Structure 1
Amino acid sequence: MNTYTIGQIEDAINYWREHQASGEDAALCPRARVLADIYGAMIYNREETVLANTLSPAQNESLSLALNQQPLGL
């Protein structure tokens, strides 16, 4: 069963923060925002991993797209 670590979720949030425009009020972009909910819950519950099948389709898509990106300039 596929799992994601809290570090992977944090990396994905940071990827989207760097690569997608956010709102003028410093809100996270939509792709990072869907991950912030699960990230916050993991911190609150002191969880290190989360099962992919417990995430919404939007959360899985945001994670997959961000984590499968190649570093820029390489």
Structure 2
Amino acid sequence: MKTFLTVAEIEQAINYWCARQASGEDGALCRKARLLADIYGQMIYDRMQVINVSRLSAEQVDAVNIALNQRELPL
């Protein structure tokens, strides 16, 4: 895993999860996308272009790794 992630990579990971997991009945993002949306929103608010991976939770790192390193989820 890289030491830093760009805001574009976080956005790409969010889009990956949104395309593969249904949103909730209320239109809420799926769990993995929601985990990443928290850090994405903070990056936008703080005008950050990159973030150190050490600032992400283990679940966030896992969600990004799957999204950026796999084209499709296993069946």
State how many pairs are aligned: 71
* Structure-2-length-normalised TM-score: 0.90
5+ residue gaps in structure 2? Answer: none
TM-superposed CA distance for 1:21, in Å, is: 1.4
CA distance in 2: counterparts of 1:16 and 1:25, whole angstroms: 17
Q: Which residue is equivalent to 1:47?
A: 48
Identity %: 51
Q: Which residue is equivalent to 1:22?
A: 23
SS in 2 for 1:13: helix
Q: Which residue is equivalent to 1:2?
A: 3
* Structure-1-length-normalised TM-score: 0.91
Off by >2 Å, runs of 4+ in structure 1: none
TM-superposed CA distance for 1:17, in Å, is: 0.2
Q: Which residue is equivalent to 1:62?
A: 63
RMSD: 1.2
**Which amino acid in structure 2 is aligned with residue 43 of structure 1?**
I
5+ residue gaps in structure 1? Answer: none
